[in-house]
Chain A
Amino acid sequence: MKALVKLSLVWRSRFGYLLFGLLLAELSVCSLFLLMGQTGGRLSSAIIGVALGFGLLRIAGVARIVLRYLERLVAHDATFKALTDLRVWFYRRLSEGAAAGLGFRRSGDLLSRLVSDIQSLDNLYLRILIPLAAAFISLPILVIICLHAGVGGALTLTIALLFALIAFLLPYLTARSTYRLGPDLQQAQARLQIKALDMATGLREMRIFGAEERMCQALEDDQETLYLLQKQQGRRMAALHASALLLSRLGGIAVLCACVGIFYHKPDIIAGVTIFFVVTSALDMINDLPRAGLLAGQACHAAERVASVVTERPLPGGYINTLPEYFDIQCHQLSFGWPGKGLILEDASFFLKSGEKAILLGPSGSGKSSLAALLLRVVSPRSGYITLDGINIEDVRDETLRNKVAWLSQNSHLFDDTIRHNLLLGREGIADDALWDALEKAQIADFVRSLPDGLDHWIGENGSHLSGGQGRRIALARVLLSSAPVLILDEPAAGLDLETEKAFLETINRIDRRRSVLLITHRLTGVERPDHIWRLEKKKIVAQPI
């Protein structure tokens, strides 16, 4: 709940508009009360032979239609605004702190899950806050109407009590029940998803080892586990919903009893009929609130997960705005380990002179990538420090550093967009000539020229319309487009076949002599032309003769 409140603070600047939406919703409720009250009142007056005008009835009818329309329009508009705010807020927070770390550790799936959490928070305003808040305001209005009509305190109290039970207690119970059952359900669902993904990726293995039937059976077993939980939840929801319905009927019955003169003091019959119409429509209106409780229970979990990620503290920013055009990099006795894990670098040092090219070798999982993370200041070393021409990297502003140190890895993402936008990544004021120049240097210009749309060719999800080597070259062109004097290439050719990898590395050999390059890789192909070869051994960096 705390996380939910915290996240709704994202909408602080929209409170006025959100309140306006709520106001319209409440006015629409009031017009319904008026309409139903008028219906009951006028009709019963006519029955006892008293002629009254129908003006108010007609006005109430028109008002209800117009207000309901406006309410929906404003509520949706506000929802879209809230949705934008939430996404942009999430994006910013992620990009400040957790993102770099998460992205570095290839948590693409974790990130996707977070996105679906954000999506489930979209409901917050429209389906949870508005109905609940409207019910909260409607209750006193209903009480005033009852008292004003003179149906007596006892009946009013009964109705108010029933209203509160349906609008607040039942949704609370639903929320609590879904909140408690939520993790189990989610886990069961996740297990089913993992099984399905395992199955889809392992289709070959399944066929080869004759495991198709076994795996299908296992998937269907997991499905049954999920369905059992769903059934439990569904039964509980049905029971809660039936209780809500029963309570709202009780309200009608109570008014009827009063009219007949059972249990309650008998009111004026016209007032009784009027109140019956108002009360039944008011109670019917809040019947769906237990469903809002269901959503609230789910939203709570989503909010907790989102909050836990974005509260990861960003590294303190530096203050130095300018770095020399070209600079030497020196690492002094760095020690590093990911949070909660052991050291992967211990007293590692190296010196890379401006314009030199170095290769860092080491088996997979030995901590080569964490060196890249340190140089990009995504993480801080536990001890030791890095200097750029004598300036400590910790003192440099993130943006300044990232304009000077460019990064390319097998995890470099290609966006589901055009080649142009993939190269620019939002930068403006760069001429096409510069783009072609970068593509030329990455040796992919001919291919791009051969495409019917050229630079505006759409490359698909993570470059799926390109071959592996082409995708890597586009990513390289993106890096070369920046004027960064230092390039960190972290296994840029992993996953390519040997020929393609060699061709790619040869392209890298031709990179501008003034730029420093640190190539991180697990093997040499024979085409590299480095100034240094370093090897990561026993958490230290050891120079190796070329």
Chain B
Amino acid sequence: MKADKKIIKSWVRQQNRTSRSITMSIALLGFVNVMMGVVQAWSLAHIFAQLLMQHVSDVQMLLVIFIICCVVRVLLSYLQELMALSAGQSARRRLRHHILERIMVAGPVLLRQNHSAKLATLLVDRVEMLDGYFARWLPASMLWVVAQWSIVAIVAWQNWHAGLVLGLCCLALPFLQAIFGIATAVASRRQFLAMSRLQTRFLDRIRGIATIVLSGNAERDAQDLRTAAEEFRHRTMKVLRVAFMASATTDIVMIVALVWIVVSQSHALMHDHSVDHASAALFAVFMVPEAFATFRALSASYQDKSHVNETAEAVHTLPQPSSSHGHDPAEKEEGAHAVLYDGRGISLVVKDVSYRWSEDRPPTLLDINFALEPGQTALLEGVSGAGKSTLIELLLGFIQPQKGQIFLGGVAMNTMSAEAITRHISWIGQRPVLFAGTLRENILFAHPNAREEEIQHALEASRVSQYLADLPDGLNTVIGEGGFGLSGGQAQRIAIARAFLKNSPLLVMDEPTAHLDPETEQDILEALKLLLQGRTALIATHSSQFKTLETTYHMTLDAGHIVSQEPKQ
């Protein structure tokens, strides 16, 4: 856990470093802004001092300076905001790219431990949430100490007594913050957890609302919801009572500084009636809010800081990018050229392959051996949990066996790059993922540069063409999320069309008809028979209908072993 924290901290530091230059520029603008504020307060103090002492000398000139300062400060703030906007965007852009890379390197295996929605949230929402961190928190944290103490120094130079008071108050601020802050930090973190739990619970209830309503428990559950929320409120208010003390310290310190300076300066002024002294006193008073403004900006974006740690933690659940393959990619690409196959398919040899998902669990696969000649088809059976999916992921190169080797067309797979492996394989799962887009885009996904006749052939062979007429816009119908709903059988035919279009020598299928009714299954099977011609195939399935296929092998997997391997006559 400690090592994790260290990694997370160094990751955050690295992020800070990469955006340092723009952070610096924003902070620098902020500093110039503060300095303009000093000039502004100075001119203002002199105007009032001269007016009050009725000793007007250059008021008009000072007024012009004051106005110029006002305008310049507005422009500087505008500029700061624009820069913060682009700082936030470029940091998010960079971060998203970084996360994308990590996801791509880890590949499909990620889906074993992570829900896809979680990955999508990391990729979009979590990254977007970091805007405030890069746009506001980083510059503010860089600026505040320098700005505050510069002001204290300048005030002290003009008016050492007021400077001392202001300095003392600024010094007290971190202490007071620490006293109240540390006490609340732990509690508020726990509170944040409770809050997110309450939100999750609400979301969970809403998602399952049909279940609750149909079991006749809606009213009772609404009461529960209220009780939980009320209880949460009570507990939160307890924490907030202290937490607001922490934020009240800024008010306290500032008001104390203000009142103290006014009272002490007034007493001094009673004895010394000079314009200089009067303007120095006024200047000190005008600088009090300025001295605390940068700190206020920092506290305002405090919650932005907590987001970055959460994201860092989420990013670190993804595997490290470097650990994927042992070989140099260039060398692997070499290996790929040697893969041998012709129009009849490709040979597949699995030799002594063992795999375990983690050290503390028994091996999922143990000493698996089989060989398929080009053009042969094998059926793979076994109850769920027997290791079928693991075997398929090994064949697809998503994971590498800890022991043994797999040869594709005579070439050991561990010498090939991921792209080289998948170039030779088509895969059909239980339910294809249909991307948001048109039907054509979804099929072309397999081969973006396919010619029109290739597409037509794939549509015919996969029998997608059979239902095209029923779709509102034919091939241009929008499917996937938010689009036209396709049935399981229709979707599976798209997967087959993709496989035709990709035209690779090895087919791997994982329960391709698991969700279909018998008639649809029969239909899909006809299309698959066409696809199997001239290809080597391994099909994991429970369905009896597949037994009608001309297959070479029936393999049965049980607890990581191949328990039967009957060649068919």
Q: Does B497 contact A (CB under 8 A)?
A: no
* CB contact list, B417-468 vs A, under 8 A: 418-419, 422-423, 425-427, 429, 432-433, 435-436, 445-448
Q: Which residues of B contact A500 (CB under 8 A)?
A: 384
Given contacts A94-B206, A376-B214, A415-B204, contact A87 B225 (CB under 8 A): yes
Residues of B within 8 A of A61 (CB): 255-256, 258-259
User: Would you call A47 and B52 a contact (CB within 8 A)?
Assistant: yes
Is B48 part of the contact surface with A, judged by Cβ < 8 Å? yes
For residue A320, give the distance in angstroms from its CB to the closest CB of chain B. Answer: 15
A413 touches B49 (CB 8 A): no
Q: Contact: A84 with B229, CB < 8 Å?
A: yes
CB < 8 Å neighbour of B209 from A99, A193, A253, A478 = A99
Per-position binary interface string of chain A over residues 325-368, scored 1 when its CB falls under 8 Å from any chain B CB and 0 otherwise: 00000000000000000000000000000000000000111000
- In the complex, A482 Cα to B78 Cα: how many Å? 64
Residues on the A chain within 8 Å of B52, using CB: 44, 47-48, 269-270, 273
Interface presence of B535 (CB below 8 A): no
C-beta contact mask, B250-270 vs A, less than 8 Å → 1, else 0? 011001101100110111011
- When the two chains form their complex, are residues A72 and B247 in contact, meaning their CB atoms are under 8 A apart? yes
Given contacts A87-B202, A416-B204, contact A256 B66 (CB under 8 A): yes
Q: Hey, what's the 0/1 contact readout for B201-218 against A, CB within 8 Å counting as 1?
A: 111111111111111111
A77 & B209 in contact (Cβ 8 Å cutoff): no
Q: How far is the CB of A283 from chain B (nearest CB, A)?
A: 12
Q: Which of A17-51 contact B (CB under 8 A)?
A: 35, 39, 42-49, 51
B383 close to A (CB within 8 Å): yes
Residue of B nearest to A249 (CB): B70
A416→B220 CA distance, assembly (Å): 18
**Residues of chain B within 8 A of A196, CB atoms compared:** 119-120, 123-124
- How many A-B Cβ pairs are below 8 Å? 365
> A interface, how many residues as a size bin?
35 or more
Q: Is B493 an interface residue (CB 8 A)?
A: no
Chain A 317-329, CB within 8 Å of chain B: the 1/0 string?
0000000000000
Of A109-117, A167-175, A435-443, which stretch is located at the interface? A109-117
A11 to chain B, nearest CB (A): 14
- Complex Cα distance, B120 from A495, in Å, reads 23
Q: Is the CB of B48 within 8 A of A44?
A: yes
A48-B53, A64-B255, A239-B78 as given contacts; A91 in contact with B120, CB under 8 Å: no
The distance in angstroms between the C-alpha atoms of A241 and B281, with both chains bound, is 32
Binds A, one of B96-104, B147-155, B362-370, B400-408: B96-104
A262 to B206, CA, bound (A): 64
A103 contacts B70, C-beta separation under 8 Å = no
- Distance A80 CA – B240 CA, assembled complex (angstroms): 12
Q: A99-B213, A200-B120 given as contacts; is B448 within 8 A of A214 (CB)?
A: yes
Collect the chain B residues with CB atoms within 8 Å of residue A46's CB.
265-267, 269-270, 281
Residues A416 and B201 in contact, CB atoms below 8 Å apart: yes
Query: What string of 1s and 0s marks CB contacts (under 8 Å) between B233-246 and chain A?
Result: 10011001100110
Known: A47-B52, A238-B85, A415-B205. A201 touches B517 (CB 8 A): no
The answer to whether A35 and B515 touch across the interface, beta carbons within 8 angstroms, is no
Instruction: Give the contacting residue for B63; candidates A99, A257, A272, A398; CB below 8 A.
Output: A257
Shortest distance between the CB of B511 and any CB in chain A (Å) = 7
From 6 to 52 in chain B, residues with beta carbon under 8 angstroms from any chain A beta carbon are: 44, 47-49, 51-52
List B contacts of A530 (CB < 8 A): none
Chain B residues lying within 8 Å of A378, measured Cβ to Cβ, are 210, 214
- In the assembled complex, A230 has its CB within 8 A of some CB on chain B: yes
Tell me the smallest distance from the CB of B446 to a CB of chain A, in Å: 5
Residues from 187 to 210 in A contacting B, C-beta threshold 8 Å? 189, 192-205, 207-210
Interface presence of B398 (CB below 8 A)? yes
Residues of B within 8 A of A84 (CB): 226, 229-230, 233
Give chain A residues whose Cβ lies under 8 Å from the Cβ of B209.
Answer: 91, 94-95, 99-100, 102-103, 111
Let me know if A154 is at the binding interface, CB within 8 A. Answer: no
Give the CA-CA distance A216 to B384 in the complex, in Å: 33
Cβ A208 vs Cβ B422 within 8 A:
yes
From A193, A245, A461, give the contact of B77 (CB < 8 A).
A245
Interface size class of B (residues with CB under 8 A): 35 or more
| Chain A residues, Cβ within 8 Å of B266 | 42-43, 45-46, 54
Chain A residues with CB below 8 A from B233, complex form:
77, 80-81, 84
Please determine whether B255 and A209 come into contact, CB atoms closer than 8 angstroms. Answer: no
Give the docked Cα–Cα distance between A230 and B89 (Å).
9
How long is the Cα–Cα vector from A425 to B281 in the complex, in angstroms? 69
Per the 8 Å Cβ criterion, residues 389-422 of A in contact with B are: 398-399, 402-403, 406-407, 411-417
B285 at the binding interface (Cβ < 8 Å): yes
- A131: CB under 8 A from chain B? no
**Chain A residue at minimum C-beta to C-beta distance from B267:** A46
- Taking a contact as CB atoms under 8 Å apart, the answer to whether B85 and A234 are in contact is yes
Q: Is the CB of A39 within 8 A of B433?
A: no
User: Any chain B CB within 8 A of the CB of A498?
Assistant: yes
The CA of A111 and the CA of B111, in the complex, are separated in Å by 24
Q: A273 and B48: CB pair below 8 A?
A: yes
Residue contact B214 to A499, C-beta cutoff 8 Å: no
Binding-face segment, A219-227, A447-455, A507-515: A219-227
Q: What 1/0 flags go to A484-497 for Cβ under 8 Å of B?
A: 00000000001101
- Pairs A–B under 8 Å by Cβ, sample size 6: A69-B245, A91-B202, A260-B60, A411-B210, A426-B212, A497-B511
Shortest 8 CB-CB contacts between residues of A and residues of B: A103-B210, A413-B208, A46-B266, A402-B216, A202-B433, A84-B229, A95-B218, A200-B116
B residues near A (Cβ < 8 Å) are 44, 47-49, 51-53, 59-60, 63, 66-67, 70-71, 73-75, 77-78, 81-82, 85-86, 89, 93, 96-97, 100, 103-104, 107-108, 110-111, 115-117, 119-120, 123-125, 128, 199-222, 224-226, 229-230, 232-233, 236-237, 240-241, 244-245, 247-248, 251-252, 255-256, 258-259, 262-263, 265-267, 269-270, 273, 278, 281-282, 285, 383-384, 396, 398, 418-419, 422-423, 425-427, 429, 432-433, 435-436, 445-448, 480-482, 485, 487-488, 498, 502, 511, 514-515, 517-520, 542-543
Q: Known pairs A91-B225, A523-B518; list 20 more (Cβ under 8 Å).
A: A39-B259, A42-B266, A46-B281, A68-B251, A76-B237, A77-B233, A80-B233, A99-B209, A200-B111, A204-B433, A205-B445, A210-B422, A241-B78, A249-B74, A402-B216, A416-B200, A426-B221, A482-B215, A497-B542, A522-B517
